[in-house]
Every structure is written in structure tokens, then in C-alpha cells.
Amino acid sequence: MTRPIQRRVFLMTLAASSAVIGTIAHPQTLVEEKDAQASALGYFADAKRVDTKKYPKFAAGQNCASCALYQGKPNDKAGGCPLFAGKQVTGAGWCSAWAKEA
């Protein structure tokens, strides 16, 4: 009777440890639009909300996932950006520093 319980406790501990390691390995802190740097660069977490009058160089299809500076994989929901060290931008986001991939 104790073996199944020990096994269950072991698996629960393993799952909890994996969750902690995953959190450490992949920081989830997202850039907030109201952050000073984000505001200065006109960052939007969703490119669909870009003010095209204020940022006329924005073109449909531009987003962080298609930006040369994006450090996530194209299908990642969020990834790093060198302009926002220690935080992540959303793949669907956009800012005025968007750069075409080579």
C-alpha cells in the first residue's frame, strides 16, 4: 500500500520541480505597453491595435514574430527582444523599431 503512495508523491514532486525549472528557464514577464521603453517605441502587445496615423510605416503582416530582432521561434506566443532586456514581447506584438528579416 505504501509503494503506490510513495510513487504518487515522487511523481508530484517531480512535476512540481519541473514546473519550477521551466519557470526559471523561460521567464514569463511580458513587456507592458505602459512601460517607459515600450511607450517610447510605440509597442503594442497586439499589432492589430497599432495606431496607423501615429505610426504610418506600420504595414499589415508586421509583428514581433516577423521582426528580425525577435528571439523567439516564429510560432512562439512570446519571445525575447534585445530592446526589452529581461522581458518578453508577444509574437503578435509590434513596435516602431520593427525590422524586416534579411
Binding stretches for ligand SF4 (CB under 6 A): 43, 64, 67, 69-70, 81, 83, 89, 93-95, 97-98
Backbone angles phi, psi at 90, to 5 degrees: -80, 145
3-state secondary structure of 13: helix
Q: Compute the least distance from the CB of residue 65 to ligand SF4, in Å.
A: 8
Is 44 in contact with 33 (CB distance < 8 Å)? yes
Grid coordinates given for 32: 507592458
Cβ closest to ligand SF4, residue 30 vs residue 69: 69
Q: In the bound complex, what is the minimum distance in angstroms from residue 25's beta carbon to ligand SF4? A: 20
Q: Return the closest-CA partner of residue 90 out of 45, 33, 41.
A: 45
A 10 A CB-CB count for 93 gives 27
Closer of 53 and 93 to ligand SF4 (Cβ): 93
Cβ at position 3, least distance to ligand SF4 in Å = 51
Closest approach of ligand SF4 to the CB of residue 6, in Å: 47
